[in-house]
Amino acid sequence: MSGKEQVMAVLMGPAEVRQTFRDWPGDMCLAVCLMQSGDCQLMVFHHEEAGIFPRRLQGQLALRSGDLCFFPPVEGFATRALLYSDEQKLMSLVAEAPEIAEEAADYSVNYAYALEEGLDPVAFLGLDRAAPDPTPGSEPQVTEKPLHFAHMAEEREADFVSRRSVVAGGEAVGRVRKALLPGFMQRQEAIGPGPHFRSVRELEVTEETRVPCDVLPEHDGWILIAQTGEGGADIRISDTDLLYLRDDRNVVAIRQEPPWQSTAALPGRIWIRTERLPGSLRGVFGDRIGQAELSGTGSFLYLHFGPRLLAQREPAPFAPMPAVEQPEGGGRDEGMNLGQDEAAVGLEDDEGEGRAAVEAPAKTALSQMPTPVSPPVSKGAAPTAPRAPERPKRTRRRWLMMASAAASLLLLLQVGLQLGGSFERDASGVKAPVDWDKFRLSSQTAKAG
C-alpha cells in the first residue's frame, strides 16, 4: 500500500462515545471521517449495521477502496495505526459537536420503528445502498508510519457535519417516513430564538458539572480521591505522565487511560500512586486533604481544590477566677461599722448618754441586716471543685454605700426625735395643735419689758 489514502474513518462503539456524551444511545455507533483537506465529518450508524457500514460509507463518499482506510481494521480496507495522543485529540474534537447525540437518538428511534413495522431501515431512513464489494482476497494493510492529523487542525479548523447523501427519491421517501411515524415521533423543523441561544440539551452536554469528592491522606503509597456518598468504578494512576498541575496549583488534570470504559462520565474512586510523584505535586495533595470537586470530559478528569485548609486552633480551657480570702473578723461588717462611726463623729453632742442612745439603735439595726456567708477557706488543702468567682469590687462598693446610707438615715431619724421633743404630742402620737399665744414678735417683747 502506498499510504496515500484520502480519508481515514475511526469507528467508535457506544461505550467509547458515552465517555463524552452521557445521553448517547446504547445501540448507536459513531464514525469520525478525517479528510486529507482538514475537514472532519461525523456519521452515526446502528450497531447491527457494523458489517455493511464500511461499504455504505465508501459509496456515500464516492471513493475507491484504496482511498479509504479504517481504524480499527476492517476486512477489505486498509488500516493505519492511531497514536494514543491522536485518540485524545479526536475525542476533544467530537466533544465540540453536541448535536450529534440528538441525531443518534433520532436514528435509533427510526431504526427500531422500521424493524417493528417490517420495513427496510435503509429505504426507510433514506440511505444509500452499499457500494460494490472490494477486490476479493484483499487483506487489511498497515502503513509503516502512523497517521498524524494534528497539522490538519492547525491549517484549518475542522468542520463537524453529519453527512447523509440525498437519494433520487428523497422527497418520496421522506413523505412515506413522515406518514408512517406516529404523531409523537413526527418532529418538525425547530426554529431557534437566535444565534446567541443554546438549547438545554447542548448546555447539559457542554457545561462542566462538578461533583464533591474527598481527598484522603496518603496510605501505603496511594492517594485516594473518592466521590462523596457515591460508588462507582475505580481507576488507578501509576504513570506520572498522566498527571498535570496547573500553574496556580489549584487544579490537577488526570488523563484517562485507554482501558477506561464506563457508562458513568466520572469514576467513583481514583487511586494515585505516590512512588514517583514529584515533591511539588505530592505537597499539593498533602496540603489539600479534605473536600474537593471533580469534573471531567472524554479525555481528562479535573480535580479542583478549594482554599488551603487552615489549622484550627483549639480554644484555651476555661480558668475560674481565684477565690478572694476575706480577712478574719468580717471585713464587710467592719466597713459598715466604719461608715457608721464616721457618721456619728460628725455630730457633736455634749451629753454622753445622748450619744450612746443615738448609736445603740443604729448598731441594733445594722446587726439585723442579712450578711452573705462565705464558706471557710482552708489554706492547706486544694479545692475539690472549682469555686464560683467572687462578686466584683463594684458590687461590694455598692453594698458599703447602701449600708452607710442606711446608718446615716437612722442617725438623722434619732436626732430628729430628740430635737422635736419641745412639741407636744398626744397619746396616739399625733402632733398636738400649736399654741400660738407663746409666740411674740420682737416689738411686743420690748414693750412688755
Contact 54, 121 (CB under 8 A): no
Per-residue pLDDT reduced to its tens digit, 304-324: 886 544 333 344 444 444 454
Residue owning grid cell 448618754: 353
Pairwise CA distance, residues 317 & 281, whole Å? 38
Which residues, 6+ apart, have CB-to-CB distance to 285 below 8 Å? 215, 218, 223, 272, 274, 277
The full set of domain ranges for the chain reads 7-191+200-204, 208-305, 391-432
Residue 199: what pLDDT? 72
pLDDT, one tens digit per residue, over 397-448 is 888 889 889 988 888 888 877 776 544 444 444 445 555 555 555 444 444 4
3-state secondary structure of 97: coil
pLDDT tens digits along 69-113:
998 899 889 988 888 778 888 888 888 889 999 999 999 999 999
CA-CA-CA-CA dihedral for 64, 67, 71, 75, to nearest 10:
40
CA-to-CA dists, residue 184 to 94, 109, 172, 187, 413, angstroms: 30, 12, 21, 8, 106
Quote the DSSP letter at residue 431.
B
Q: Give the pLDDT of residue 205.
A: 55
Inter-residue contact 105 to 21 (CB < 8 Å): no
Which residue in the block uniquely carries the three cell numbers 462542566? 208
The residue to which cell 461525523 is assigned: 42
Short-list 129, 108, 98, CA closest to 46: 108
Cα–Cα dist 290/217, whole Å: 9
Single out the residue of 186, 80, 61, 98 nearest to residue 142, CA to CA: 80
**Can you tell me the distance from the alpha carbon of 422 to that of 415, in angstroms, rounded to the nearest whole number?**
13
Q: What φ, ψ does residue 253 adopt, rounded to 5°?
A: -100, 135
- Compute the radius of gyration of the chain from its Cα atoms: 51
Rounded to a whole number of angstroms, the distance between the first and last alpha carbons of the chain is: 165
- 328, amino acid identity: E
Q: What is the pLDDT of residue 1?
A: 37
Q: Which residues pair with 32 in a beta bridge?
A: 10, 42
What pLDDT, on a 0 to 100 scale, did the predictor assign at position 121?
82
| Helix, coil or strand: residue 177 | helix
**Which helix or strand (DSSP H or E) is residue 215 part of?**
strand 211-215
In the three-class reduction of DSSP (H, G, I as helix; E, B as strand; rest coil), residue 365 is classed as: helix
**pLDDT for res 316:** 42
18, exposed or middle or buried, with CB in 10 Å at 0-12, 13-18, 19+? Answer: buried
Q: Is the CB of residue 122 less than 8 Å from the CB of residue 129?
A: yes
Q: Which residues is 70 bridged to in the sheet?
A: 9, 79
The reported pLDDT for the residue numbered 371 is 52
Closest CA to 208 of 95, 290, 88: 95
Pairing of strands 269-273, 222-227: antiparallel
pLDDT (0 to 100) of residue 390: 55
C-alpha cell read off for 413 = 431619724
The position carrying cell 445603740 is: 360
Residues 6+ apart with CB under 8 A from 423: 431, 432
Mean pLDDT, rounded, of the chain: 68
Of the candidates 394, 406, 419, 421, the residue with the CA atom closest to the CA atom of residue 343: 406
Q: Which residues of the chain have pLDDT under 70?
A: 1-4, 128-192, 201-208, 230-232, 257-265, 297-298, 306-393, 420-449
Alpha helices for 145-209 (secondary structure H): 150-155, 170-180, 200-206
DSSP string, 270-294: EEEE-TT--HHHHHHHHHT-EEEEE
Task: Quote the cell numbers at residue 357.
Answer: 442612745
How high is the pLDDT of residue 237?
A: 84
For 50-62, write each residue's pLDDT tens digit.
Answer: 889 999 999 888 8
